[in-house]
Amino acid sequence: MADKKSPFFTYKGMPLVRKGNVIYFGNMYDEFVVMIEILGTEKKGEIDVANKVRLRKMATDINIPPTEAIVKMTERGSLYEALDIACAWLKV
């Protein structure tokens, strides 16, 4: 949820920023963030729920070429699993 100090939604105190099917988790001022890409969804009642997501742990240093910035990558079957892994990668 968004807190009064941050304009972003947060999870375990870290910012979550979404644009379309991509969610960035973490603080851009830290060494790494995790990019979560929603690859597939399914209907649960009236809500679309992610059922396939790809995670990429990325360096935030703008001097590193994008192809070298990705240091870890995996896929999972839910957004909850993805956020759990992202927290572990960023040690939140």
Task: Give the pLDDT band (50/70/90) at residue 7.
Answer: confident
Is 2 contained in some domain?
no
Give the total number of structural domains in the chain: 1
The residue length of the chain stands at 92
What average pLDDT is seen over the chain?
92
Structural domain of 17: 9-90
Strand spans (E) along the chain: 9-11, 14-19, 22-25, 32-44, 47-59, 70-76
Is 1 contained in some domain?
no
pLDDT 10s digits, 28-72:
999 999 999 999 999 999 999 999 999 999 999 999 998 899 999
Instruction: Assess contact for 35 and 27: CB atoms under 8 A.
Output: no
Is 4 contained in some domain?
no
Task: Give the pLDDT band (50/70/90) at residue 6.
Answer: low
Rounded Cα–Cα distance for residues 17 and 85 (Å): 17
Q: Structure pTM?
A: 0.86
pLDDT at 3 over 60: no
